[in-house]
Structure 1
Amino acid sequence: MKVYYFASLKEALKIPSEEIILSADMTVEQLRKKLVDKHGKCHFPGNILCAVNQEIANDEVVVSDSDEVAFYPPVTGG
């Protein structure tokens, strides 16, 4: 599965995307935990948003290898 990172998260991880191998379908929450284990909790605080196939997704959404997943910090206006 291709996982994309945007904005300050991309800058902090120093990568725009990466391939993640799934052993089976998993939820966004399980994927997030896998990324925390790999990159550290500091990069994935509770307010990091997730989109699956370009739609906002909560932690219960199930993802598969064919999905496009993106993580990004919340956006604020100014």
Structure 2
Amino acid sequence: MDVKWAELGRVFAVSLIVGLAVVGVFSLGAVTLSDRRDVRGPTVAGAVAMACFAVCTAVVGYGLYLIVPQFH
């Protein structure tokens, strides 16, 4: 059994970076959503928050697509 340490390190680094990015984008969406001043109608802040949540959903969905072989 041969462990390819370079590839394992690359997977670790990409997982760490993407994980931190998803948490950061989700946090930005949550802060933007909670910071709206006008709650009576749609605002730019609400649109930015929904875009952040859509990006997070897309990244998680792509990760599941890569992991689950039945999706291929």
TM-score tier, shorter chain, comes to under 0.3
Report the structure number with the largest CA radius of gyration: 2
Query: In proportion to residue count, which structure has more strand?
Result: 1
Q: TM-score, normalised by structure 1?
A: 0.26
Query: In proportion to residue count, which structure has more helix?
Result: 2
